[in-house]
Structure 1
Amino acid sequence: MSESPDLPRVTDEVTAEWLLPKIGLQKAKIETKRVIAGTASLILKTVTPEEENAGEKKAPLNICVKGGFNPDMLAAYPFVLGLYTRELDFYANVAPKVPQLNLPKVLWSGKTSKNAIIVMEDVAANSGYVFADPVDTWSVDRVKLIVEQFAALHAATWGTKAEDAPWLDDHYEEAVLGLCAMWDAIVLAEDRPPVPEYMKDKEKMIPAIKTWFATRDPKFGCILHGDAHIGNTAWSEQTKTPMIVDWQIIHRGSCFTDIAYYIMTALTIEDRKAYEKDLIDHYLAKLHEFGGPKLSREDPGVMEEYRKSLMAGYSWVLCPYTMQKKERVWAIVSRLVSAMEDHNPVELLVKE
């Protein structure tokens, strides 16, 4: 990862002059295939080298340039710059410790006080990965494979303390509470997804969120993906393997945050009800297999922690449509409401 004073801030600034030295080329034809807008923007390009290597032309490269290329979003939500930076830190500091994680190859990364950019392989073009849409759901078998990757991450970082990862701060809590500050404009807006009345009550929900933050059990502490919903995973039919992407909200917390959040968002309501316990058991078995502690659903605090961790999904109730499309918010919130009704995390937290 490098420091750079002149990172592009809009897509048009990702020029051949800027990009080619980052990927070790001098002359190449560059084609922009697609720009995908989101919390971070993805610029998908094909780079066809013009120079020869040992008398042969180098093969074309399919790459993804990811960063903050929406100045309006950065102005409206300044905290998102920290999300871009944190993903770079994940690839530099955590990914090398977890070989079981299936991740794209990073070709270059750099950050400044105004932006952070990663240049990586385009796994959709290279390996046929299809990124999940939050409106969709996955099969139980696919979810089981993702749960295994979370287990590997958690086991490798189990017990990580603040001094072990000084680049990880309290950004997650700050971001959620920052959205809470816009409660009336988001949660109470007319075109928001239907939720029970108590889930609209900021006098009840904000204290519950703060209690959840304060009472996460440190004995389950590790480094989390932190935004573990189905939309941050991909599947390749070519290799029959999943991939976890978008490591922007990585933070220290309870391992069950990733697990409860992912199971809730990735499965149909019917599959969650039928297979939730089996998936928790599978996660716990893999956690131990990868070097983490040996835990059971019968152990004190395990299922209570899982239930509380469903509060992570409430971020979708708080999510403005400028950050996620309306149909995605409605789809995830419908699954969240069902899980909240089954597990009652708010009731559990109110009793704390």
Structure 2
Amino acid sequence: MADRAETFNPAPLLLDTVLSAAWLGRALGGAGDPMDVRAVHIVDQFGPSCTKVRMELEFGPSAPPGLHSAYCLKGFFGDPGIGYLKSGVQLTESAFYRDCAPTLSMRLAECVHAGSDEARGAGVLLMKDLITAGARFLTALEPYSARQAESSLDQLARLHAASWGDAVLAKWPWVRSKARELTRYQVVPAARVTELMRGERGAPLPDAIRDGARIYAALGRIADRDTALPHCLIHGDAHAGNMFENADGCGIVDWQLLQRGHWSLDVAYHVAAALTVEDRRTHEQDLLRLYLDRLAAHGVTPPAWDEAWDRYRESLAYGMFLWAITIRVDPPVIMEFNRRLGTAVADHDSFGRLGV
């Protein structure tokens, strides 16, 4: 076993390596002997930054009968992918599937290998293929109904309830709060955010909220607020493009922005990003009540309605921040998410509620 640990790289940076029969056999073997993988057939491949590869494996005669053969591999490889390693997001996602996922009663991809290389910031996931199992991945802008939101909010309630409070979160010391970091380090400077929001992405919104300094200040107030509120694991990027749907309901993928924080960040972002403006206005109070009911059903005493509604309306500023600073995404998605999230912020005077 010592030789194996020295020779097997759990998170290589070369795509050719992780798509080789030899590496996949070692990954599937876990701590035991390698699986006898004889051939790798690529079904589909997505990029360009984070690479996802769907594949079908052929096993040799020494492999146990009845092995699952359809998998999806995910990681940063080559250029420009490895340029994202310094962000640490792939380490976060690998750690989620390794440490957190086994404790959760959520619909998730079944991960059979969650490898990481801390020194390089690399992470490689090998998961059973959801599409082959009958699931459908949703897209960021496809119609998303209130009924679907009920299902996905139940999934978020399961995540939050299972990780509620500092005593539970202590099991995962590597999970950090991110609102303060995002405010402090300004990956996209406030002046540049103003420039972006004064352009096409902010055109449907009131001028008063198209200001980078104010957008950052609102996130800073959320960070201040949340120091006195209960924390849990939050997905951090729960728009419809990170959802899948099968016969049982909605599930959640893409855990790169996993963090500890207040439940309202996930709920407000999800409702305002996934639904159209009109549907959000019609259904958001009912959906928040449903979320609170599901939180109770999963074992947590929910906040009173007035408290929950106030936190929801403030937390809409988090989602707006994420999409105000977004650059490397298809422009139609950026435009629509800024319209949806910015309109929600304007509808509820989220900045005013936060005192900015």
What is the TM-score of this pair, normalised by structure 2? 0.86
Q: Structure 1 173/11 Cα, relative in aligned 2: closer, same or farther at 3 Å?
A: farther
Is the Cα contact below 8 Å between 1:193 and 1:329 reproduced in 2?
A: no
Q: How does 1:148-227 map to 2 (within 5 A)?
A: 148-160=154-166, 163-171=170-178, 173-175=180-182, 178-185=185-192, 187-189=194-196, 190=199, 192-194=201-203, 195-216=205-226, 218-227=228-237
Contact 2:200 2:335 in 1 (8 A): no
How far did 1:347 drift? 1.1
C-alpha distance in structure 1 between counterparts of 2:190 and 2:66, whole Å:
53
- How many angstroms does 1:46 deviate by? 1.0
Question: Taking structure 1 as reference, are residues 34 and 183 closer, same or farther at Cα in structure 2, changes over 3 Å only?
Answer: farther
- 2:108 matched residue in structure 1: 103
1:118 Cα deviation from its structure 2 partner: 1.0
Residue 318 of structure 1 is matched in structure 2 by: 325
Aligned residues: 338
Q: What are the within-5 Å matches in structure 2 for residues 96-135 of structure 1?
A: 96-99=102-105, 101-112=106-117, 113-114=119-120, 115-125=122-132, 127-135=133-141
Distance 1:98 1:163, change over 3 A: closer
What is the distance in 2 between the residues matched to 1:70 and 1:173? 31
Contact 1:46 1:60 in 2 (8 A): no
Q: Report the AA paired with residue 73 of structure 2.
A: V
Q: Counterpart in 2 of 1:290?
A: 298
Structure 2 partner of 1:140: 146
- Whether the aligned pair in 2 keeps the contact of 1:27 and 1:49 (CA below 8 Å) is yes
Q: How does 1:1-352 map to 2 (within 5 A)?
A: 5=9, 7-14=11-18, 15-24=20-29, 25-37=35-47, 40-51=50-61, 58=66, 61-75=69-83, 77-80=84-87, 82-99=88-105, 101-112=106-117, 113-114=119-120, 115-125=122-132, 127-160=133-166, 163-171=170-178, 173-175=180-182, 178-185=185-192, 187-189=194-196, 190=199, 192-194=201-203, 195-216=205-226, 218-236=228-246, 239-298=247-306, 301-314=307-320, 315-320=322-327, 322=328, 324-350=329-355
Once residues 136 and 97 of structure 2 are traced to their aligned partners in structure 1, the CA distance between those partners, rounded to angstroms, is 21
Instruction: Report the Cα distance in structure 2 between the residues aligned to 1:164 and 1:40, rounded to whole angstroms.
Output: 28
Structure 2 distance, partners of 1:156, 1:6, is 28
Q: Is the 8 A contact 1:131 1:234 kept in 2?
A: yes
Structure 2: stretches of 5+ with no match in the other structure:
30-34
Is the contact between residue 41 and residue 66 of structure 1 (CA under 8 Å) also seen in structure 2?
A: yes
Q: Give the whole-Å Cα distance in 1 for the aligned partners of 2:151 and 2:210.
A: 35
| Cα distance in 1, alignment partners of residues 37 and 124 from structure 2 | 22
Q: Which amino acid aligns with 2:53?
A: I
SS in 2 for 1:124: coil
Amino acid at match of 1:340: V
Contact 2:49 2:80 in 1 (8 A): no
State the AA in 2 paired with 1:228: A
Partner of 2:131, secondary structure, is helix
Distance 2:115 2:187 in 1: 31
1:58 positional shift: 4.3
Contact kept, 8 Å, 1:218 with 1:254, in 2: the verdict is no
User: Do the aligned residues in 1 keep the contact of 2:41 with 2:57 (CA within 8 Å)?
Assistant: yes
Structure 1: distance between partners of 2:208 and 2:13 = 41
User: In 1, Cα distance between the equivalents of 2:337 and 2:235?
Assistant: 18
What are structure 1's unaligned runs of at least 5 residues?
A: none
How far did residue 173 of structure 1 move? 3.9
Identical columns (%) = 25
Deviation at 1:20, TM superposition (A): 2.0
| Separation (CA, whole Å) in 1 of partners of 2:186 and 2:130 | 32
* Distance of 2:58 and 2:108 partners within structure 1: 23
What displacement does 1:255 show? 0.6
**Distance change (3 Å), C-alpha of 1:163 and 1:156:** closer
Q: Structure 1, residues 84-115: CA drift from partner, whole Å, max 9, x if none?
A: 1111221222222222x011111112111221
Cα 1:74–1:34 shift into 2, 3 Å: same
